Amino acid sequence: MQREEGACRWVSDFLHRRLADTNIATALPITMPAPTVSPTRKILIAGGGFVTPFIRYMALLTGKARPRICYLPTAVGDRADAKLNFYSWCAPLNVEPFVQDVFIESLSQTRGWDEVLLSADAILVSGGNTLNQQAIWRAQGIDVVLREAWKRGIVLGGASAGSLCWFEEGTSDSRPKALSIVQCLGFLPGSHSPHYDVEPGRRPLYHELIGSGRLKPGYACDNEAGIYFEGTEVRRVVASRDNAKVYLVSVVDGRVVERVLEPERIS
């Protein structure tokens, strides 16, 4: 037993001496993975009127010389005139426009939602019925693909239903009789109200809902005024006409406060 213990001590001492004598600089180099930079998540919205000036700005945000812009007209039921309008708005621009319908069948729609949408540089969502849009996207799994597109840095945007859809919630005319609250994708925190200057019921209802706590504070946009978000932060406020405004609506000391965010002009 004493002989075995002595042998073990000798081996231990030998290993300690070898480790102490080792020149660390001659050890094998450790290869560290290069740090990865996540793409910037980009969303561009307008209260209404997401036409040529906003599409031009959206194209610029892609960083591509000739970006592929996908139009997703779910909220208008893939209506033909909406698609024609989209192509006319893109006509003066150096972009490659295309449309993705959702009222499809597998014989002619041979690519998955991910294959189509993730191949775009930007995705422009139409206005229309937000409630129906959200239901269809969730049933089809398009909501999941759009989140992946956002994570990859594909520019997302739109006006009306195409702006409201990115927030947690907001006011919509998607149901009969009156404006009401709809729950949306939640990429952007808080609430949203589009068409703030052209539909008289929008402002008082938005104030009432936020003041009562039934709706989270958020952003209201006049037609042809909008916001560019990087991640979930406001990066730039823009408008394609004079006197179009953006507003931050919140509760301060128990009362609703509407703060004007003056936009920069785009054309």
Catalytic residues: 160, 195
CA distance 133 to 6: 79
Q: Provide the phi-psi class of 250: left if phi over 0, else alpha when psi is between -120 and 50, else beta.
A: beta
In sequence order, the β-bridge partners of residue 247 are 220, 260
Q: Are 158 and 124 in contact (CB under 8 A)?
A: yes
Residue with tokens 């001492």: 13
CA distance 155 to 122: 4
3-state secondary structure of 123: strand
Q: Can you tell me whether residue 262 is helix, strand or coil?
A: coil
Q: Are 225 and 239 in contact (CB under 8 A)?
A: yes
Q: Which amino acid is at 79?
A: R
Cβ burial, residue 170 (10 Å; 0-12/13-18/19+):
buried
- β-strands 218-221, 167-172 pairing: unpaired
Angle subtended at Cα 97 by Cα 99 and Cα 113, rounded to the nearest 5 degrees: 40
